[in-house]
Each structure stands twice: as C-alpha cells, then as structure tokens.
Structure 1
C-alpha cells in the first residue's frame, strides 16, 4: 500500500503564447479546470502505475471539492483519509505558454489544515510506503514521517515546492526526490560548495544516508544509493505541457519501489511515464496508464 499524505487542489489552467513578466498583461487562448495538487497528482500516478493507494488530505466545503477528487475516485484510490474543512479547496493558478513551460501560484486553502492525526486515523502499517511533498504544513509532514517510521513503513519525500525546512526532517525518510532547483536549495542549506550534478547527488546521499533521486528534465534522472550512481534517460519528445510531469515521475517511482523493482528499473519506468505526461494538457488528465508506459518501454529504441 502507498499512503499519500499531501495536497488536493483544483487547477485553473490558462494557456497563453508567452509567460507574463511582472506588471505585464498577456492575452491568453484557453482556460481549463482540472484536478491537481502534488499529493493528489502523485496518488493518481501511483494508482495508474498499478499500486494500491490511500489518499490522506483535506478538501473544502465548496463545489471544487468533488471536482478535485473525481479522477482519484475513478482510479480506485482509497479516499477514506480525506477530510472536509470549512475553507476553500486548495487552488492552483497555472499559466502555460506555447512551449509547454508554466508558472504556478498555489492558494492552499483546506490543505493548510492537514495534520498527522489524519494519517494516524487513516492508518499506515509495516510494509507500506508513505509519500510526502511540501504543499501542506511541514510540521504535519515531519510528524507523519515519524509516525510512518514507527509503524515500520518506508518514507519517500518529494522536496517540492522547495522551501526552507528543518533539516532534521531528513532523518525520518528513506528516499529523497528533488529536481535541479530543489537539489541546489538543499545543498545551499547544508553550506555545500558548488558541485556538478553527479557529485552533488552522491554527496547528498552519503551526507543524509538515504537514496537521493534527482530529476533533470530533458536530461533524464540521476540517483545515488549505497555508494552507486544510477541514471535513467528521458523520452525524446516535444512537450505540449509539462504541468504534472514531475508528480507523474514521483508517483510512478514510488509505485515501482513498493512493487519491488530495483532503483534503475523504477526510475526508467517513471521517466517514461513523465515523458508521456508531457504530451497532454493538465496535471492529472495527462498521467498515463501503466499499459501505455509498458508499451513505450517495450518499443524499439
């Protein structure tokens, strides 16, 4: 079982030729409403990868709540750990340009009410995997990680979106997933001199004693574990929309590890899934099913 403790949002996605600069108004071309939130995105990705998934999070008492949970429910994610709060459902304001790049502002709403008590009530057990991000209160995520470890579960932390945090958090995780910006941020917190990517990932893994996975966009992914460096290529694609690609990678990675795949195989499958997610609009609608990922992996290189 993968238990995802994190955010549940509704995404308001505007499409425009270019991303705006401060003070600039850009005339857009289309508007979409889509379920989102890093927690919910990763839960859906893990479910579509074939894992059994429970979502622990909060939604509001507004009309967006049902929309935010639609695809999770359709995918068979256990929603018994989702609570309703007297605040608005978390909302992401997203602008995507014609190259597929994006700008995002998050309005947390009900997500700010999530506490470790919700995880304790929902349940987590030995052999489970807890998946965390940073769109909900960090104190709650730290407490959730401690609880999961006490119960014999493994903990995966996706350090996104990056913010300063108590470095003691890293004592309670088994796998750390970062992108380039997040890798730079955590190294700066540790006062590490500038290193190239291989050196940085290896140094961080040794320093904190966990598996570290770094996603590098079109250059694939890099990981360090037990003194070894593992890499996985990215799909060669022309992206339509990169929103949700990182969450797809993390959810598929967690599902692969929980399934018992070795790190290299889990990363390769996650990388293909993330690449396919860039070929459709929206965070959750773009997450591919496992059959599509398997077929792409089996296709001639």
Structure 2
C-alpha cells in the first residue's frame, strides 16, 4: 500500500508508536524523521524543522506534522504515514527481540485505529486492506501477494481474509476467474477452485483427455486445496481462529502454508497466461 488512511485517531496512535520518552533511546532517530518529513514535503507542520522548538520529542513532531496534513494536505500525510511505518519496521520496531521494539500496547492501539479505516496491521508491521473487492487488479494482486507471503510462513492471520467471508485460496480463485471471465458466480469451493484451475489450463481429477507430466502435480494441488478448505471454521466471522477447534496447531500451520503455496502457484499461472 502506497498510502495509509489518516484521521485524528490514527495520528495519535502512530505518535504513541514513536514515543520514546520512557526509554533511553530508540530508533528511528530525529535525523531519520528529518529525512522522511523533508522527502514527503510535510515539513511545514514540523516544529523542529521550522525552528519553533528544537527540543521537541519525536511523538510531538509526528503528531504535529500529521495534524498539519489533516488540515492542509491529507494525501501527503497518508503517504508520509506509510513511509513512517516502513521506517519503524525497518528498525525492528515490530520485532519483540529488537532494542527498538515499540511495545505491544502501542501496536494494538494502532491496529485498532487502522482496522476501523479498513486496514489490517499485522504483528510484524505489514499493512493490507481488510476489504479486497473494490481494489484494482494490480492492487488486488499486491494485497493477495502480501497474504501469500505471510501464509507461506504459517501466519494464521493470512489464512482468513479478515472482514470478508473468503479464505486466502478462495479469494485467489475468485480473482483468477474475475480476471479471465470478467465476473464470477458464488458456488461451492471445489467448483470455484476447479473453474480457476480449468481457466488456467491446469488439471484436476475431473479433467478429461490425455494428461501431461505435470498433471499429477496440478491434481495434487487441487485436492490439497479442497482438503484445506474442509478444515475451515465455516461458522467463523473472520475475527477468530480460521480452522475448526479439532485442528491441531501443527495441522493448521501446514494448512496455512499449503494455502500460500497453492495461491502463489495460481497467481503465477495467471500472470503467465495474461502475459502471453
């Protein structure tokens, strides 16, 4: 995401994330803030760079520039907010074993503020849209790719697309069908996934005719996708455990990583098909 939504609540929450008044020192430094404030041309709101208060703390600086942006140029503020979050992430601010870790409470506050604006902030500082349906094709694929990266690492928040009824693999299959047919109709998961495979020229157990040497791999991926979907907690709302209570942690992690693998395979095949 190039921009992150900005409002008064988010401005307060991100200011708390950079607040290091209670610790000896923590990056990003004032110099780091100077660089991104100037680069994003938001320095008119910075009391330090304007010489109003050279001893102002990081939290007050961030709060001041974001409040200036809310009044004068919100788009610039949203781009700056994304740069700031990347800077914090780059310094290990979301990594618990880092000396620059910002703290669980600050992260939870920011997560809550962003979620109200349709953005998910993961525990490692990655942002993705909650609702994917209204994104452009490129934005959709970027968002799905972000979930895929997390799923391949076994991250449970990548298994179910929070705020929608779709899990990751279902969302990817629907995207494939929409890109190739223009729209798709709701159907059961095996049919949906099977259609996506068919449109991409991939084999399933129902594919007729001679099968080439890669068909066994494709069929196995289709069957694995259906098996993983059967483990889903169909009664879930997208805010809790994505799998049935009987599924163990080891099984759930394997299922999530499988989702990521199959989803990546389908997106790669889609890009290949569109390119040719």
TM-score, length-normalised on structure 2?
Answer: 0.28
Largest Rg, 1 or 2: 2
Structure having the larger proportion of residues in helix: 2
